[in-house]
Amino acid sequence: MALIGKNNEEKIWNFLTGKGLSAHGAAGLMGNLYAESALEPMNLQNTYEKSLGYTDAGYTAAVDSGKYTNFVHDSAGYGLAQWTYYTRKEALLKYAKAAGASIGDLETQLGFLYKELSSGYPALLSTLRTAATVRTASDAVLTIYERPADMSERVKVQRANFGQKYLDKYGSAVTPTPEPSTGGSCTAAALLAIAAAEIGYHEKASNANLDSKTGNSGAANFTKYSRDLAAAGYYNGNKQGVAWCDVFVDWCFYQLAGRNAKKAQEIECQTGPLGAGCLYSMQYYQQQGRFYTSNPQPGDQVFYQSGGSISHTGIVESVNGSTFTTIEGNASDQVMRCKRKMNDGYTYGFGRPKYDAGTDSAPTEPAQPSTPLKYKIGDVVNFSGSVHYVSSNAANGSNCKPGKVKITAVYASGKHPYHAIAEAGGGSTAYGWVDTDKLSPITEIKIGDAVKFKGGPHYASSTAAADSGSPKAGPATVTAIAKGAKHPYHVVHTDKQSTVYGWVDAALVEKTQ
């Protein structure tokens, strides 16, 4: 979908609020982006223009054409967020190529930024969706996402002030007040009746009238409600095609509760009529112990994942063996009935709302905890493998290096259940789904510790590009540590089983005492 706005700042504002960020959250993020790049997606870090011999536009064109091949490893900040670290620049380049777009394209960079937030920084994204002050949002972006060398109070104040200007300019829209409604019994059947009445609704190109194929074509109609929110500045600011999936689910529960925000919260997980997005909704169900990875029931909220993040949601209407039927908003800009497969690698799980007691069947499986497997989202662990996958059930993967990674998504029933992204300085290049048996907890290693060297290359220095051979596995001692280096541990063998004597990657040593 094309960006909406007359200039970069307006397009960015509409994109961020369209993804569910609060006005204060969007402003805080934009203040940081302005400080990094002046909101110019082709911005090459100034200190590198002379050394690389490129202007912003020249650098972008050279990378796009393939003339310049060191984009990933040149350590030059680039783009809206001034992405610098090689794994993030590599991911940006892959994202742009997959989209068939320039690395300097604004819409492409915003899509990548949101993907990073969704998969790698879910807690920060939640903060940006609920932030009530620009300073709260700005400080969170500065210290968690951007992390420049200078994060002093002076910098925090400066970036928050940048953000305040965007809030003052674009954040004055007033939330529309829906018309009152009587509501009905808080049952799954009642909710599904509300949802089904909206199937087929969409906005005409003139944006003047709505289809009236059912009796619910007045002000209570979902697309009318959705359009009114867009006109007030929510979502992407577009008056057409704003049937945002999570807003549709919110709206149905809001109707069910008689348009009572408090009652809607009691029934399920939303935060009033505006909602909080797919990921936040799923996390709420997990925290409440009402999240399931199988055996859906009519009235459940279903969540889908794509590319390592929660990307879509809807309402389960019926279940038939290995398939189920849903009602979903934002499918071709209208409300549709969809047929889904239970174990397709796309369906992530189901949230079970709190309907009126005694009116709906009880769960037939125990609720899944937030962490159905050994690790949870946000954990930093060692990855010892050499393959990562584009999906949790992919048959084939691509090579990557072992090292320290962060878990950014979990799909319990997948063949490769953890989505992992390489940690800065951890040695790995992973950015995909990985196997459970390739992950292990990180135990702090100190100088003098006895370790097991797992075999593999050793290096003459902690930053060396070429190795000095690949000695066999065996017991060793840590004699030096270079935190943050590519090969952070210097180890020396302690018997004849191994000949390791040099700097090694973090994933190749394991503490033994």
CB 217 within 8 A of CB 204: no
CA atoms within 13 A on the CB side of 237: 19
Contacts by residues 436-439 (CB-CB < 8 Å, ≥ 24 positions apart): 436/373, 436/374, 438/383, 438/384, 438/385, 438/402, 439/374, 439/375, 439/381, 439/382, 439/383, 439/384, 439/405
Question: How many angstroms from the chain centroid is the CA of residue 235?
Answer: 17
Q: Using alpha carbons, list the distances in angstroms from residue 130 to 127, 271, 274, 427.
A: 5, 10, 11, 34
Query: What is the DSSP secondary-structure string of 410-436?
Result: E-TTSSS-EEEEEPTTSS---EEEE-G
Q: Report the DSSP beta bridge partners of residue 439.
A: 383
14: helix, coil or strand? helix
To 10 degrees, the CA torsion angle through 432, 72, 423, 117? -70
Question: How many angstroms from the chain centroid is the CA of residue 195?
Answer: 27
Backbone angles phi, psi at 198, to 5 degrees: -95, -5
E-assigned strands of 123-276?
none
246: helix, coil or strand? helix
Q: Is the pTM of this model over 0.85?
A: no
Whole-number Å distance between alpha carbons of 309 and 68: 31
Query: What is the DSSP secondary-structure string of 277-333?
Result: -HHHHHHHHHHHT-EESS---TTPEEEEEETTEEEEEEEEEEEETTEEEEEEEEETT
Q: Using alpha carbons, list the distances in angstroms from residue 324 to 253, 340, 341, 381.
A: 20, 5, 6, 36
- Give the residue carrying structure tokens 């189920």: 324
Tokens of 439: 């992950």
Which has the closest alpha carbon to 403: 440, 377, 378, 374? 440
Tokens of 349: 């799980």
- Dihedral sign for Cα atoms in the order 224, 229, 235, 236: positive
Return the H-helix or E-strand segment holding 226. helix 222-231
136: helix, coil or strand? helix
pLDDT in tens, the chain (513 residues): 468 888 999 999 988 988 888 888 999 999 999 999 999 999 999 999 999 999 999 999 999 999 999 999 999 999 999 999 999 999 999 999 988 899 999 999 999 999 999 888 888 888 898 888 889 899 999 999 999 888 988 999 899 999 999 988 887 543 333 333 333 467 788 888 778 777 765 543 333 333 333 333 333 455 555 555 544 444 433 333 344 677 778 777 877 777 666 777 777 655 444 444 677 777 777 766 777 877 888 889 998 887 667 778 899 988 887 788 898 876 555 778 888 887 777 888 888 888 765 333 333 333 443 334 678 777 888 888 889 886 677 778 888 888 888 887 676 667 888 878 888 777 788 877 889 889 888 777 888 888 889 888 999 999 998 988 999 999 999 999 988 888 899 999 998 888 999 999 887 888 876
Tokens of 425: 């300085």
Which has the closest alpha carbon to 109: 130, 93, 132, 126? 93
Bridging pattern class, strands 450-453 and 474-481: antiparallel
